[in-house]
A and B are shown apart, each in its own frame.
Chain A
Amino acid sequence: AQSVTQPDIHITVSEGASLELRCNYSYGATPYLFWYVQSPGQGLQLLLKYFSGDTLVQGIKGFEAEFKRSQSSFNLRKPSVHWSDAAEYFCAVGAEEYGNKLVFGAGTILRVKS
């Protein structure tokens, strides 16, 4: 069965420091990959997505992610974190072979120290 793992439940970084959130997936098909962000009390907002082509994708708010097929990973990065980036981040995976559905990871809560 398809699954998505976000190994870090919580991450704390200092404002201005770089950030990397990890996402690993298990899929028996070519995956479509997404990162969503959820601010407290809000719905989910798409940060970026990967379907094909260049394995380094750029998203909103200065985020980027790199697809590494050999490692089954799609890690999210940001070179300099701002206090407003504090939120919960979700990795999600889908595949045409499994219909128009996404499987979400459990999420990583990002805290930003000033």
Chain B
Amino acid sequence: DAGITQSPRHKVTETGTPVTLRCHQTENHRYMYWYRQDPGHGLRLIHYSYGVKDTDKGEVSDGYSVSRSKTEDFLLTLESATSSQTSVYFCAISDQERALLNTQYFGPGTRLTVL
């Protein structure tokens, strides 16, 4: 299994509070992704990174920000959590310039509940 960890694995928070989720990899892969998974929607891309300090928005980026100061860490921040951000969040990594030619490896997920 690819060396990807996510922390925390579970979190319950209140509306309006900031939340940061962490993805850590030990594979030295260039690309990292944050997805959210909701019933009936599959996985939707929030943000992704193609290198240190290089990030871009995905399909559902509103209300989220990311940072990548080191190759191994990719942080997802909810500046002011809302109930609509209750979801399971997955981090993924992939390698190579033509990253689509390579598999995206997924972390175990973080279940976030916003009350």
Contact B109 A94, beta carbon cutoff 8 Å: no
User: How many B residues have CB within 8 A of the partner chain?
Assistant: 28
Total inter-chain residue pairs, C-beta < 8 Å: 57
Chain B residues whose C-beta falls within 8 Å of the C-beta of A6 in the assembled complex: 42
Seen from chain B, the residues whose Cβ lies within 8 Å of a Cβ on chain A are 31, 33, 35, 40-45, 48, 50, 56, 58-59, 90, 92, 94, 98-101, 103-109
9 inter-chain pairs at a CB distance below 8 angstroms, sorted by A residue, are A43-B90, A44-B43, A44-B92, A46-B105, A90-B42, A96-B100, A100-B50, A105-B42, A106-B42
Given contacts A43-B109, A100-B48, A103-B45, 17 further A-B contacts (CB under 8 A): A4-B42, A6-B42, A42-B109, A44-B43, A44-B90, A44-B92, A44-B106, A46-B104, A95-B100, A100-B31, A100-B100, A101-B33, A101-B45, A104-B44, A105-B42, A106-B40, A106-B41
